[in-house]
Structure formats: C-alpha cells, structure tokens
C-alpha cells in the first residue's frame, strides 16, 4: 500500500472521533435514555446518571446459571442451584450477567440493538471484562464467540448486536474473536411475542457449527445481550459441545430477573428476541 494512503487510512478514525466530540459540544444532544441534556463530551450518548444506574448484579444467585434468587431459603442452601439447574437442563457450564434488565437497561439494549450505538457495546464489554477479572478461573476461556443472527436478520439489521459487545470484549481479554464458528440455521418465527415454551422450541437445533470449524477442547466465552430464558445460550452451547468444546461459559450484559415485568413503565417496550 502506498505510504500516503496508509497514513490517510490511519487518520480517518481519529479525525472522526474528534468531529464527534466537537459535535457533541456544539450541539448538546439529550441522553438517549432519560433525555436530560448531555453536559460532557462522550462517545456514549447516555448521561452518567443513567450509566451508573446500570449496576452490577450482586445478590445471591444460582451457582451455575446466575439466576438471581428471590427466596432466602434457596440462597442459604450449601450448593445454591436454581430449580432448572438442579434438573441440569442447560448445556453451558456457567452463565453470568453484568446487570438486571431494568427499564434503563431495556432502553440501553434498544440503543445497541436497533441504533448500532457501538461505543455502548464497548462500555458493556468493559463491564463484562470486570466480571471476568473478579472470577478469572471460572470464567477463563480460549476464544470469544458472539451468539449469531440468522443471515436474513443480519442482512436486515446490517450488524449483530452481540458482536458489538463480543468484539471489544475479546480485545480487552486478549482473546481471539471467532464470529464465524456458529451459524443460526433457522430464523425466528415472525410472531412478535413468544411464550417461554415457544422460545425453547424455536431455538432448539436452530444453531450449528460451520462444517469446517475445529474447536477441539476449546474453552468458549459465548456472548449475548440479554439472558431471558437461557434457551438461546443453551442451544448455542449444545452445538459447541457437540463439536468438542471443552467448556462453554455464557456472558450477557443483562439478565431478566424472575420477578421482572415486561412493559413495567409506560413507553418502555421490551426489545424482541432475534
């Protein structure tokens, strides 16, 4: 490549970043979650109050799937497992999430999923990296794999929101990103809301490994935006395991708490599953 062209290519992102920062100073945009005026120049279009309201999950939770416990009795058990993990239904070894699926989080996920707010993906990746740093042994991995979208959905949206989190996370952890390992072979049905049973049924066998992919004994960090029923992560983990993965740890930004009511606040619409 010609030296000048290389120089120009290197310059563009820096230049664009400077423009973004200048633009936010000249035209203060409202926070995309609470609509308060943003007073500081940041690449994330969310105010600091909203960002700090997205707090890490700290309560007692199921040792395996990370499901927050509502009952103190379950939490006090010597091996705290939820009713699903006691039946050993999940194919992943462990699942952890950064924060609860609160109204602010629902809006943040919408920004990531439908508005491609890439800097928010990077911010979430930093939170997930902190989660990994707190439990490095249990969450150790060799590769990072985002939950894939069906090709029709990917074409329609133009990007995969799970990859907006997985890519900066892989970079932070110094691990290779392997987006091409998994494919979604069956699209989600058109129906907008799915029941719990339907969620499980539609994703069962909907993911597969690319035929040429080799993952013998690899430890996989599987990344998605929201853990709702765990059906998607389970289906992906099943495909990875079948292909010989040594361990599958699922990481998501948000976790639907058992008592969470969708549409709890007016104007907050739950993002549809992919």
Residues engaged in binding Zn ion (CB under 5 A)? 31, 33-34, 36, 47, 50, 62, 64-65, 67, 82, 85
CB 231 within 8 A of CB 262: no
Residue with Cβ nearer Zn ion (33 or 175): 33
33 or 144, CB closer to Zn ion? 33
CB of residue 134 to Zn ion, shortest distance in Å: 19
Q: Rounded to the nearest whole angstrom, what is the least distance from the CB of residue 11 to Zn ion in the complex?
A: 33
The distance of closest approach from Cβ of residue 233 to Zn ion in the complex, given in angstroms and rounded to an integer, is 12
| For helices 118-134 and 103-114, angle between their N-to-C axes, nearest 10 degrees | 120
Checking DSSP bridges between strand 207-209 and strand 182-184, what pairing results, if any? antiparallel
Question: What is the DSSP code string of 139-181?
Answer: T--SEEEEPPPBHHHHHHHSS-HHHHHHHHHHHHHT--B-TTS
Q: Which is nearer to Zn ion, 34 or 70 (CB)?
A: 34
Return the number of the residue (167 or 199) whose C-beta is nearest Zn ion: 199
CB of 62 to Zn ion, least distance (A): 3
> Closest separation between CB of residue 50 and Zn ion, Å?
3
Nearest to 226 by CA among 194, 266, 274: 274
Reduce the secondary structure of 170-237 to three states and give it as a string: HHHHCCCECCCCEEECCCCCCCCCCCHHHHHHHHCCCEEECCCCCCCCCEEEEEEEEECCCHHHHHHH
For the beta carbon of residue 264, count every other beta carbon within 10 angstroms.
Answer: 12
What is the H or E stretch that residue 21 is in?
helix 3-26
Residue 65 or 117: which CB sits closer to Zn ion?
65
Least separation in angstroms between CB 224 and Zn ion: 16
> By the 8 A CB rule, do 1 and 16 touch?
no
What is the nearest approach in angstroms of Zn ion to the Cβ of residue 105? 12
Indicate the residue among 67 and 184 with the shorter CB distance to Zn ion. Answer: 67
φ and ψ of 108, to 5 deg: -65, -40
Q: At its nearest, how many Å lie between Zn ion and the CB of residue 73?
A: 15
Residue 97 to residue 224: CA distance in whole angstroms? 10
Token pair belonging to 33: 């979650």
Considering the complex, state which of residue 159 and residue 200 has its C-beta at the smaller distance from Zn ion.
200
Nearer to Zn ion, 51 or 154 (CB): 51
């Amino acid at each position: 490549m010609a030296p000048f062209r290389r120089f120009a290519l290197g310059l563009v992102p820096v230049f664009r970043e400077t423009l973004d920062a200048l633009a936010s100073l000249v035209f203060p945009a409202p926070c995309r979650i609470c609509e308060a005026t943003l007073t500081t120049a940041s690449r994330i279009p969310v105010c600091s109050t909203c960002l700090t309201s997205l707090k890490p999950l700290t309560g007692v939770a199921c040792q395996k799937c990370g499901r927050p416990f509502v009952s103190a009795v379950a939490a006090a058990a010597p091996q705290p497992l939820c009713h699903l993990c006691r039946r050993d239904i999940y194919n992943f070894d462990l699942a952890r999430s950064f924060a609860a699926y609160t109204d602010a989080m629902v809006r943040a996920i919408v920004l990531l999923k439908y508005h491609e707010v890439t800097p928010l993906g990077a911010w979430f990746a930093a939170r997930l990296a902190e989660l990994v740093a707190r439990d490095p042994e249990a969450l150790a991995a060799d590769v990072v794999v985002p939950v894939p979208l069906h090709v029709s959905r990917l074409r329609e949206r133009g990007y995969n929101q799970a990859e907006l989190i997985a890519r900066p996370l892989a970079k932070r952890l110094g691990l290779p990103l392997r987006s091409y390992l998994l494919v979604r072979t069956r699209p989600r049905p058109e129906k907008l809301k799915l029941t719990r049973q339907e969620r499980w049924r539609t994703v069962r066998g909907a993911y597969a490994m690319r035929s040429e992919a080799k993952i013998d004994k690899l430890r996989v960090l599987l990344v998605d935006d929201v853990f709702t029923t765990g059906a998607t992560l389970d289906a992906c983990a099943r495909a990875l395991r079948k292909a010989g993965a040594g361990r599958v740890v699922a990481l998501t930004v948000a976790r639907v708490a058992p008592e969470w009511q969708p549409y709890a606040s007016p104007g907050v619409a739950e993002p549809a599953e992919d």
